[in-house]
A and B are shown apart, each in its own frame.
Chain A
């Protein structure tokens, strides 16, 4: 599907990530040190780069900064063992497009990579269509077929996020970050409860399921799944 570059010094982690992403159909190359990674990043045309924060030879953030300084805009996801907010901010400032703290679920990484690969979404569109679903963001209304949906503002935002990424898996953490605009891992299964409510509204007329749960990872909005 896409050519990905993984810059990660820990062979074990790299092996798992490589297997997982290859299993999802990506073509993934691996570099184990900062300088190797920097060279590989310059040599190839990559769909996205995954770079670890701590690397032998050169810090992952420096590799990324150098790339950005040379005008390379390849989407990049920063991995780090330090789950601290300061670290995330530093990662994003250095030119990272997303950030993931170790230990992470492989599904989470894959979902975030897919999201990076599909960027940019055309965000000027204000009337969205997926299957028989239509949402008017300006009017704040939604319809499934002929049936009007009564959506709360937050549900509208949730639906917008999903409809801009049809068929793509989004994780709970991604939803919380993008829809609620806060970043940490909520303890309770509240995201599921919110998604569940939205799903009930979408399927209240006995229509076919549209919003699916992906076991262990998150959710996807898939017409006629």
Chain B
């Protein structure tokens, strides 16, 4: 039993070779067919012409036949003039060949020929016509010549097949082994990636072919994965880091109280402080979990019609005391249009209160924080604008990232999750969260909510 070649390269090479052989066979067949037909037609035409000329002048027919025979040096021209009773009057054909129709067209027939005193049987192409007196003129030509040409052509073609097969086989092998080399390099790179080295990239040649494009795409995918992994890692690092701080404090406090606290009141104080730090860490863990949950896109079950104008009014009223304490002017303006969206009202309120919380935190005394609800063509826009120090444009995209804290925010309390929660809530609502600088140098945060589908 012959085992079918396993190697893709070999299979490809065989396939290519086989295909080129088929292709050349087809070409050869065509060439052969055309050549043979041409030669045959050429001869037939000559024979037709000759027999017609001979028949045209019955008196000179014998001379015409002899001239035809004499034209040829290799004894391949035959002819004959036969009386009505079949007796030969001129030429070198023994008899009128059997089965020869006397219509002036050329046919392949067997004939007996007298050459150099011998009578031979031979295959001929012959044309004949009847003369007015009942006699028959025949012009014929030996088939050997055409047969030889045909045989030669066939042999040549057959011989050419061997080098074609060899050459195309070699070509196929070369092509596939080149493909295999590229594949091997790609496979090696992939193996490295699978072993965990996400910085490895697939080799991309400069051919710009499908292979290169595929590698390029895989590389872009790897970049995205590396970026995501990096983000996950940095979020993990940030969580761990932010957890460690309050836990370290808590530990120190508990240890100190255990050895130093004397009265119940002192113990209570230590425990209250500890509970506060624990609540702080829990709040952070909860925030991370909720962001994850919202980014998953579940949670739309609680969606109802939400009037952003109501949300804004209540939120501003809720934050008013904080603004007053800091001597910040807090106001809200709601345009007269309809600001109803499909959403989760608790989450909308939470997003706005995170924005307000931030704005009030960074706006200095005497500043202004403005909440606005307006309508654009196909959107309801919730905005919070402040007169705080603003953000450098370079940080605009980053503020919504998890645990990102602007330079100015490093010394204020907070866990860097507020705005990412806002971003997650926006995303859940299909809303765009953006930030830009105001003319006065502060920040303007905007949440652009799509309007609900009518009906």
The proximity string for B residues 354-393 relative to A, scoring 1 for CB distances below 8 Å and 0 otherwise, is 1001000000000000000000000000000000000000
Q: Count the A residues whose beta carbon is within 8 Å of the partner chain — how many?
A: 24
Quote the shortest CB–CB distance from B280 to chain A (angstroms): 10
A184 and chain B: residue at smallest CB distance: B350
Complex interface: stretch among A19-27, A131-139, A161-169, A190-198? A190-198
Quote the shortest CB–CB distance from A108 to chain B (angstroms): 11
Complex interface: stretch among B73-81, B219-227, B244-252, B314-322? B314-322
Q: Is A89 in contact with chain B by the CB < 8 A criterion?
A: yes
Within the assembled complex, what's the spacing in Å between the Cα atoms of A121 and B418? 38
The proximity string for A residues 120-160 relative to B, scoring 1 for CB distances below 8 Å and 0 otherwise, is 00000000000000000000000000000000001000000
A182 and chain B: residue at smallest CB distance: B349
Within the assembled complex, what's the spacing in Å between the Cα atoms of A221 and B401? 43
Determine if A186 and B353 form an interchain contact, defined as CB atoms under 8 angstroms apart. yes
Complex interface: stretch among A2-10, A39-47, A50-58, A78-86? A78-86
Determine if A154 and B317 form an interchain contact, defined as CB atoms under 8 angstroms apart. yes
Determine if A188 and B322 form an interchain contact, defined as CB atoms under 8 angstroms apart. yes
Determine if B302 and A193 form an interchain contact, defined as CB atoms under 8 angstroms apart. no
Determine if B272 and A215 form an interchain contact, defined as CB atoms under 8 angstroms apart. yes
B413 and chain A: residue at smallest CB distance: A187
Determine if A190 and B286 form an interchain contact, defined as CB atoms under 8 angstroms apart. no
Within the assembled complex, what's the spacing in Å between the Cα atoms of A83 and B314? 24
Within the assembled complex, what's the spacing in Å between the Cα atoms of A184 and B315? 13
26 A-B pairs whose Cβ atoms sit less than 8 Å apart in the complex:
A83-B286, A83-B290, A84-B293, A84-B299, A85-B299, A85-B301, A85-B302, A86-B298, A89-B301, A90-B301, A181-B314, A182-B350, A184-B347, A186-B318, A186-B353, A187-B283, A187-B353, A187-B354, A187-B418, A188-B322, A190-B319, A190-B321, A193-B321, A193-B322, A194-B321, A215-B272
Quote the shortest CB–CB distance from A153 to chain B (angstroms): 9
Determine if B321 and A86 form an interchain contact, defined as CB atoms under 8 angstroms apart. no
Q: Which residues of A contact B319 (CB under 8 A)?
A: 190
The proximity string for A residues 78-115 relative to B, scoring 1 for CB distances below 8 Å and 0 otherwise, is 00000111100110000000000001010000000000
A88 and chain B: residue at smallest CB distance: B302
Q: Is B345 in contact with chain A by the CB < 8 A criterion?
A: yes
Q: Is B255 in contact with chain A by the CB < 8 A criterion?
A: no
Given contacts A154-B317, A190-B322, A193-B322, contact A184 B346 (CB under 8 A): yes
Within the assembled complex, what's the spacing in Å between the Cα atoms of A188 and B275? 16
B290 and chain A: residue at smallest CB distance: A83
Determine if B282 and A187 form an interchain contact, defined as CB atoms under 8 angstroms apart. no
